[in-house]
């Protein structure tokens, strides 16, 4: 069971999903993905600001461990955290997932109420291209065609 007793939301259930969407440049193994659309890397020691270096040095001097991989279970310490940044730009879901889907004919809806719920308790919803806030990608144009 995952958070609040919900099946399918435990760490073990979600780890394959996390691994599938990331492409970690620094680490592999059981806790990291390598072929997903979200680039993950950590700044190297020479990329840290003087303040970041001073913080890490102070943490080590205070008895904390210097950590390279904060994603490894049980890891406690100080060190650079993973970031999804490429060439100075944060790789948002829009850039890593939505941009690739824009050429598909299915509608993409943002900030739009669904036309109707398709299952009890609204776990799934149905949208159409005529819903407010929905648009359909126009094939070959690379830009949304509002409908």
Cβ-proximal residues to 80 (8 Å cutoff; 6+ apart), any chain: 42, 43, 48, 52, 68
* pLDDT tens by residue, 23-80: 999 999 999 999 999 999 999 889 999 999 999 999 999 999 999 998 888 899 999 9
* pLDDT tens by residue, 77-120: 999 999 999 988 999 888 888 877 777 766 556 655 555 555 55
Q: Is the pLDDT of residue 138 over 60?
A: no
Sheet holding 144-146, edge to edge: 107-109, 134-137, 144-146
Beta-bridge partners for 80 = none
DSSP state of 81: P
Give the angle subtended at the CA of 136 by the CAs of 134 and 137, to the nearest 5°.
135
pTM: 0.65
Report CA-CA distances (Å) from 93 to 128, 140, 141: 22, 22, 21
3-state SS assignment for residue 115 = coil
Indicate the domain borders of the chain: 103-147
Report CA-CA distances (Å) from 63 to 48, 87, 142: 21, 34, 54
């Amino acid at each position: 069971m995952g958070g609040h007793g919900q099946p399918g939301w435990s760490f073990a259930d979600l780890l394959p999903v996390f691994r599938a969407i990331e492409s970690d440049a620094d680490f592999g193994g059981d806790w990291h993905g390598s072929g997903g659309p979200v680039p993950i890397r950590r700044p190297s020691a020479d990329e840290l600001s003087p303040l970041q270096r001073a913080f890490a040095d102070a943490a080590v001097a205070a008895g904390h461990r210097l950590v390279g991989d904060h994603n490894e279970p049980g890891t406690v310490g100080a060190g650079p955290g993973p970031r999804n940044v490429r060439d100075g730009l944060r790789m948002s879901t829009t850039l890593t997932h939505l941009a690739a889907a824009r050429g598909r004919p299915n509608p993409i809806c943002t900030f739009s109420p669904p036309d109707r719920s398709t299952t009890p308790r609204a776990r799934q919803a149905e949208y159409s291209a005529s819903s407010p806030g929905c648009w359909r990608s126009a094939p070959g144009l690379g830009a949304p065609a509002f409908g």
